Chains A and B, each alone.
Chain A
Amino acid sequence: MPVELAFDFVSNSAAADVLAARRGWSGFFTFTTLVVILSSTIRLAVPYIFAAIGESIAQRSGVLNLGVDGVMLLGAFAAYYVTLETGGPWQGLGAGLTVGMAMGVLYAFITVTLHATQDISGIGIYLFGLGFSDLLFRQLVGTPIPIERFEGVFEFIVPDERLDVPYPNLYNHSIIIYLAFLLVPLAWLTVSKTTFGLNIRAAGENPEAADSLGVSVVRTRYTTIIIGNALAGVGGAALVLDKGIYFQNITNGIGFIAVALVYFGAWRPLGVLAGSLLFSLVTSAVLEWRTLGILTGAAAQLTEMVPAVITVVALVIVTRRIGQPSALTQTFSREINY
């Protein structure tokens, strides 16, 4: 059956010449490439935004979770498997959220109820997520198979129609990308302008004082940990629903970068968003260098490290002047205090 293809313009040698001329640095400095980079930046930032915003909320209450990457892996696999089985990305997203929440309950139990050291427990959660997601994938799926993705909002609003708008790639993203950006002001409002947010900040700065004023530090931390892990699960789900595929260790350290972005963003949603976009911008630009043939061979491999190096450098510069929540990584126990 003939199908409508993605491109409408007619074959001719002039078109090929134009395309070939776009290679190299001359191709990089074009409006088309700029749009491609911006579009990719927005899309690639989404898993970082979900995971880092969630982690920032947990850290504001005094709980560090180095297991974000493991939770993302589990959320990613859950979303992938459910989407593969049901054909519905919304169901997959729900599965990622649910698994993230479950991991949140587990991590809260370990760190808040059992008073386990947060950094070591987080690494344990990461290793668990890495191994268990791979085990489940091997046993239940075996090999990567493409799954359904979220459609762009244009297709969602007007199915089977083509909207005649300039540079649709720039804003015809899936609904989950809009949700990620909506999360930023929502997180800011919650943490900065609500009573619950005040409790979070109190639990993260001085839990004993908060407790003496009637704030349940345990309940607050349980809640923020569950929110943080749920968002990590959603971040993992967003990753596979964007890529349309799952494989071993698909996050490739996104969760750890997300933790770094919390420091980079000084525990503020807007700062986290800025860090996520910066990291994704560099990643996207490097990808485009490879596509345009600017970087090949070993040089292309080396540039894989550029986004991480820039993040570390930025981290060093930024965190020198901004303090973290005073009670971050400190366990809280009423028994100890009385």
Chain B
Amino acid sequence: MTTHHLRRLALAAVLAVIGLLATACVDSNSAAEIPPGTLRIAIVAPSASNDRSFTQSLVEGVKALGDRVQYVITNNASREEAAVTIRDYAKEGYDLIIAHGSQDGGSLQEIALDFPDVSFAWGTARDTFGLDNVYAYTAASEQGGFVLGTIAAQLTETGAAGVVGPIEVGDAKFFIDGFEAGVEFQNSAVDVNTVYIGSFSNYSRAVETTKALIAQGADILTSSAQIAVGAIGVARDEKVLWLGNQADQSSLAVDFVVASQVYRWEVILEEILDSIEGGVKGGRAFTITLENGGLEIVYNNAYDLPADVRTRAGEIASGIIDGSIDPSS
């Protein structure tokens, strides 16, 4: 075999790899035959369906809708990939296209104008851009954040809690603001050190920030968005307590996760689907709350939480629901 042939062989190998890379990362429950009355939903998500946080919460919400929908999910879509995929799904005539991520708002606004007969939803956000075919959805995550903050204030032994924040936007910011307010409400002497790392997906920076927070004395931590998964691993190894958000994160550090605020998106997805079936394609914003059951504090049974702390958390949640406690104050 000559050098020339070897070079061609190497080139062929590289091209084969490039071909493999073109494989799309799509999940779905779609069947060839669509039963009458079944709505077709397409989801474009910035992370994986099983990310234990942001995307998983929505995917579990869609799955909870059962046979009412057929869905397809494009995972791990960058902002550019998301824009192309949303437009493709719109051309394919889905009943509802969900852009899961506040970073996709700009693209969605442009695409929605081009497809006035298609319903779109995006979140976490409260702005429908004044368009009749765009729904917005968000979480009043400050509510659960507040409850978890009061738990943190009662469990810390060093008097310091740490927060690994992503970017100061959307439900992540609401959650962290609520957490800080909850700590202050329960025990103003407890210090909360919040560090926004400037990314939703830089797990490495989340890991290093978590280590730094622990080294500076924090003995109970929380986070929001996908980066939480990286931070939890550090909490587990450093034997520091963790409070989860968006999905139940107990399985990631079974001895150290105290509780998680879990999003139940199915609560508002049902409303959106009802609205679409009623002929309304958009123009409304929805919020999941403790009151409507879209937010829930899920406790980790493997962690022995003192009964008085849990009772207090229940009282705080009830206070938020009946309006006697304002988590945003």
Contacts and interface: CB of A to CB of B under 8 A. Distances in A.
Interface of A: 1-17, 19-20, 22-23, 27, 32-33, 36, 39-40, 44, 110, 113-116, 124, 128, 131-132, 134-135, 138-139, 142-147, 149, 169, 243-245, 247-248, 250, 252, 287-288, 290-293, 296, 300-301
A36 B212 contact: yes
A9 B14 CA distance: 58
24 contacts: A1-B255, A15-B158, A19-B191, A19-B193, A32-B216, A33-B216, A44-B208, A114-B10, A124-B14, A138-B25, A139-B23, A142-B49, A143-B48, A143-B51, A143-B52, A144-B230, A149-B237, A243-B230, A247-B201, A247-B204, A250-B203, A288-B212, A290-B212, A291-B213
Most chain-B CB neighbours within 10 Å: which of A17, A23, A36, A244?
A244
A29 B252 CA distance: 35
Interface in B216-236: 216-217, 219, 226, 229-230, 232-234, 236
B215 A132 contact: no
B198 A301 contact: yes
B230 A245 contact: yes
Contacts of A135: 17, 20-21, 23
A128 B10 CA distance: 12
B14 A128 contact: yes
Interface stretch (B63-71, B132-140, B238-246, B319-327): B238-246
Nearest to B232: A146
B237 to A, nearest CB: 6
Contacts of A6: 214, 219, 238-240
Given A16-B190, A143-B52, A146-B229, A22 B157 contact: no
Contacts of A142: 48-50, 75
Contacts of A17: 189, 191
Contacts of B17: 128, 131-132, 135
Contacts of B253: 146
A291 B209 contact: yes
A101 B185 CA distance: 57
A124 B6 CA distance: 16
Interface of B: 3, 6-7, 10, 14, 17-18, 20-21, 23, 25, 47-52, 75-76, 156-160, 189-191, 193, 195-198, 201, 203-204, 207-209, 211-217, 219, 226, 229-230, 232-234, 236-241, 252-253, 255-256, 302-304
Contacts of B7: 114, 116
Contacts of A132: 17, 20-21
Contact of A110 (B10, B160, B207, B240): B10
B54 to A, nearest CB: 11
A245 B159 contact: no
Contacts of A296: 196
A13 B216 contact: no
A132 to B, nearest CB: 6
A149 B234 CA distance: 10
A169 B198 CA distance: 27
B302 A1 contact: yes
A103 B76 CA distance: 27
Contact of B50 (A5, A7, A143): A143
B78 to A, nearest CB: 10
Contacts of B157: 5, 7-11
A243 to B, nearest CB: 5
B209 A287 contact: yes
Nearest to A298: B198
Contacts of B51: 143-144
A140 B128 CA distance: 37
Contacts of B52: 143
Given A146-B232, A146-B252, A287-B209, 10 more contacts: A16-B159, A19-B191, A138-B25, A142-B49, A146-B236, A245-B229, A247-B230, A252-B204, A291-B213, A292-B216
